[in-house]
Structure 1
Amino acid sequence: MKPWLELAEHQRWLQTQSELLLTFGMSCGLPAGGAAYLDVDGIPDPDKPVHVWITSRMVHVYALGHLLGIPGCRPVAERALAGLTGRMRDQSGGGWFAAVDDAGPVDDAKVCYTHAFVILAATSAFQAGLVGASTLLEDATGVFLERFWDEDTGLCVDTWDSSFETLDPYRGINANMHAVEAMLATADVTGDPTWLERAARICSFVATQAATNNWRIAEHYDSSWVPVPEYNDGHRDDPFKPYGATVGHALEWSRLLLNLEAAAVNAGLTSIIELADWSSTAKSLFARAVADGWAVDGNEGFVYTTDWDGVPVVRDRMHWVVAEAAAAAAALWTRTRDPLYVTWYQRWWDYIVATVADPTAGSWHHQLDPADRPISTIWPGKPDIYHAFQATLFPRLPLAPTLATALASNMLH
């Protein structure tokens, strides 16, 4: 039997899953601009503000949907994009507020994580031909380079106050991870290899740090980039900055390293190709995440976090972790053709269909307890479809270029 990743029938099944997810999120676009936080049924939650990170993700996703030729996606992307070019943009102070409501900003911090997603949204919108995307990309990359990229360290700072006057001493890997994602996409759209070189500097730091820590990635640092291993010990299940090692991020990084390697090969950038053994590091991160996180307490599913010895800390299952696991397995199979990764890929999709996907209300349950029952203590509702949707696309596209550029170049299979 051929592996699923080589079957046309499986590719068609993934396409169906893409379409189902897009249908679920169609109501996210708001008349005033931006994308709403969605409840369990895909209905905008009126009690939640309009977040830049959700809005940017939905611009990205529905721009990809438009590039897939799915009717109805372009208007959703346009409404969400209007939020980034309108009320979510700080017209006087620069950058983007973290969240707004109808009265204005409700969180006026300027955060690297959200700004990285604005860049990603702009690149996908540009490839989809959306009006205003080119200007948005120019503005977003300008703010990013001026405020968040630290050329001396080759890493990104994390959070400014609203006026860009006070920089928080915290430094974080999560923001840098999504900055790499945005940098790879920007390199594809602009043709500027400097973005790949910046991404490689971040990836090299993470790879070196993980190699000295038994392939568990330290997430939290002080202003000098010294790890703070006990950060958030009092709030261990934080949705963005949890305590300990985040299993899903190791999986996400494993894929990103292969995306970077492939992009560098395509661009002929030998300096990046020779900088590290990207595939070996990707395999090590993947293996550590699976050993620490998958079905370690008697039930299938990935735990959210572990301590520095690999002991589970937060045992709840987050949908995005298994989405990234499936994407990483597909990437590693593409890179290595090792059947081990096909085995994991197929097992995780079986688990997603049986447990994580919601056949009644649609989309995926965002959080499950250790017994794989849906709960909502960390992630109420189903805020967006970004991770799940990308998991349906990565197996059908090459490791490089990035998703929107690959779709615009008719590389889907």
Structure 2
Amino acid sequence: MTVYRTRAGLRHRFRDVLNFYYPDCLDTAVGGYVAQLDERDGHVYDARTKHLVATARGVHNFSLGVLTDGPHWCDYAAEHGLRFLSTVHWDDERAGYDWLLDGRTPTDRTRYCYGHAFVLLAAARALQAGLPGARAELERAFGVLEEGFWEPDHGLYADRASPDWDLASYRGQNANMHTCEALIAAYEATGADRYLERAVTVADRFTRDVTAATDGLLWEHFTETWEPDRSYNADSPRHRFRPPGYQPGHHAEWAKLLALLATHRPEDWLLERAHDLFETAVDLGWDDEYGGLYYTVTADGEPIVPDKYGWVHAEAIGASALLCRADRETDRDSPAPLEWYDRLWAYASEHLINPRYGNWYERLARDHDRDGPNHGPAVEPGYHPLTNCWLGLRALEADGRSSFGPRAAER
């Protein structure tokens, strides 16, 4: 799919996703967003539920729209969501951000590190986009992460707490990965070294130290002392958010983050580990019969849940784009990232992208059947495809190029 090697192709796909959500996602009565849009035709199936992650992702998405000189309404849409995030989701009495709301009324005040990481990410992108109040929100979100979740003895973040900040014993990969992502964004928005230092610490600790217990593969679930908990959800292999097994998508996502860190901290291990994790993602995860990346696999690549998720492929696209750029800058002779970039886009275009509206489907069966509308309060409002199209655009701009692949003189 050479069209997605170009800025024009990436911008077209980026705008399609934004246009799918705007203006129906703006809740002008209650505030914030109506994120629950049916992925087939865009109708609203739940106008009441406000999910912390969906709100934060909406702010992030429209802020990226501002940063890419997108539609004129992106600025207003991002500020609209940031105002709701910083006032209604925020619990001033106990500190922290409420997880679920019915309109403006909290229904679940559990403190999730994952949710707070997305607030930090949203505030960072909003600050880059020049939104008023974004810097204060960034600093507040980081303060809660540090005070409520950071565990200096382990160099990683705890996963969740009660509204009164009693930590649960569960520790998880996903919360740390997205906190690392948010810390990189906070550094890019502010230039403050403390965010970059913390991001490198988390990345190093998780992708090199913790994974030594699983032969370099990324396990998802851990005990309080960061030992792999292999029994966690073993009886629920299709758990939507915390399944057992290895996730090729998270190997690709960490590869992307390490490649991003390498642009700010030129340490050899970052790109070496990024390539290793990306190769693991496609080697273990690619379905040779039907195409696409499995959701979860065993350590030898046997599928546990063979479904194909949109976010997995978007993350692998972003990782391959950044590795293409890194390989060119370091004169690494490897055509694999560009080949995978094209293959992943071809798969997504054929199976995962709604041909009518341009949004991405959440999940397909292994053979690409769709068994339902994928409804629920914890939605994915375009964050993964928008993020990774944007990273592809950044990779091209940083290299002063209009497309991936060799320059004309080198062909």
The TM-score with structure 1 as length reference comes to: 0.88
**Within the alignment, does 1:398 sit opposite 2:395 as a pair?**
yes
Question: Structure 1: 5+ residue runs without aligned partners?
Answer: 266-272, 400-405
The structure-2 alpha-carbon separation of the partners of 1:33 and 1:151, relative to structure 1 and needing over 3 Å to count, comes to farther
CA change 1:313–1:377 in 2 (3 A) is farther
Q: Partner of 2:50 in structure 1? A: 50
Partner of 1:320: 311
Matched residues in 1 for 2:83 and 2:372: separation?
A: 30
Counting only pairs closer than 5 Å after superposition, residues 74-89 of structure 1 correspond to structure 2 as: 74-89=75-90
Asked if the contact 1:302–1:321 (Cα under 8 Å) also holds between the matched residues in 2, the reply is yes
Q: Deviation per CA, 1:261-292, whole angstroms, max 9, x where unpaired? A: 21124xxxxxxx2xx61111111111111111
Aligned to 1:284: 276
| 1:152 equivalent in structure 2 | 153
Match of 1:269 in 2: none
Unaligned runs of at least 5 residues, structure 2: 329-333, 404-411
Sort the Cα spacing of 1:29 and 1:396 in 2 relative to 1 into closer, same or farther, 3 A: same
1:356 aligns with 2:352: yes
Deviations 1:8-54 (A, max 9, x none): xx210111111111100112222222222222233433266211101
Mapped partners of 1:252, 1:236: distance in 2: 21
Q: 1:111 to 1:43 in 2, by over 3 A?
A: same
**Contact 2:121–2:186 (CA under 8 A) maintained in structure 1:** yes
CA deviation profile, 1:91-124 (whole Å, cap 9, x unmatched): 2111101110125112110000000000010011
**Contact residue 33 and residue 81 of structure 1 kept, 8 A:** no
Partner Cα separation in structure 1 for residue 273 and residue 45 of structure 2: 41
Q: CA, structure 1 residues 138+43, in 2 after alignment: closer, same or farther (shift >3 Å)? A: farther
Q: For 1:349 and 1:48, locate their aligned partners in 2 and report how far apart those are by CA, in whole Å.
A: 34
Q: Is the 8 A contact 2:308 2:366 kept in 1?
A: yes
Letter aligned with residue 365 of structure 1: Y
Deviation at residue 383 of structure 1 after TM alignment: 3.8
Q: Is the 8 A contact 2:38 2:375 kept in 1?
A: no
* Structure 2 CA distance for aligned equivalents of residues 237 and 259 of structure 1: 31
Matches for 1:304-319 after TM superposition, within 5 Å: 304-319=295-310
Instruction: Tell me the distance in 2 between the aligned counterparts of 1:102 and 1:215.
Output: 44
Whether the 8 Å CA contact 2:3–2:9 is kept in 1: the answer is no
Question: Take 2:382 and 2:402, find their aligned partners in 1: how far apart are those partners?
Answer: 20
- TM-score scaled to structure 2, two decimals? 0.89
Give the length in aligned residue pairs. Answer: 390
d(CA) in 1 for partners of 2:85 and 2:172?
A: 24
The answer (yes or no) to whether the contact 1:58–1:80 under 8 Å persists in 2 is yes
Aligned to 2:294: 303
Q: Distance in 1 between matches of 2:349 and 2:133?
A: 38
CA drift of 1:206 comes to: 2.2
In the aligned structure 2, how far is the partner of 1:72 from the partner of 1:87? 22
Counterpart amino acid of residue 241 in structure 2: F
The 5 Å alignment of 1:194-273 reads 194-208=194-208, 209-210=210-211, 212-265=213-266, 273=267
- Per-residue Cα deviation, 1:213-250 (whole angstroms, up to 9, x for no partner): 34320111111111102211122222321111111000
Report the Cα distance in structure 2 between the residues aligned to 1:96 and 1:173, rounded to whole angstroms: 21
Q: CA deviation at 1:3?
A: 6.8
Aligned to 2:98: 97
Change (3 A) 1:255 1:88: same
Q: Does 1:366 align with 2:362?
A: yes
Counterparts of 1:371 and 1:63 in 2: how far apart (Å)? 36
1:344 aligns with 2:345: no
Q: Report the 3-state secondary structure (helix = DSSP H, G, I; strand = E; otherwise coil) of the residue aligned with 1:94.
A: coil
Equivalent residue number for residue 38 of structure 1: 37
Structure 1 runs, 4 residues or longer, greater than 6 Å off: 2-5, 410-413
User: Relative to structure 1, is the Cα distance of residues 280 and 73 closer, same or farther in structure 2, using a 3 angstrom cutoff?
Assistant: same
Counterpart amino acid of residue 177 in structure 1: M
Q: Which residue of 2 aligns with 1:28?
A: 25
Range 247-256 or range 76-85, more displaced: 76-85
- How many Å separate the matches in 2 of 1:75 and 1:412? 29
Once residues 136 and 350 of structure 1 are traced to their aligned partners in structure 2, the CA distance between those partners, rounded to angstroms, is 39
Q: Secondary structure at the match of 1:398?
A: helix
Q: Return the letter of the residue paired with 2:16.
A: L
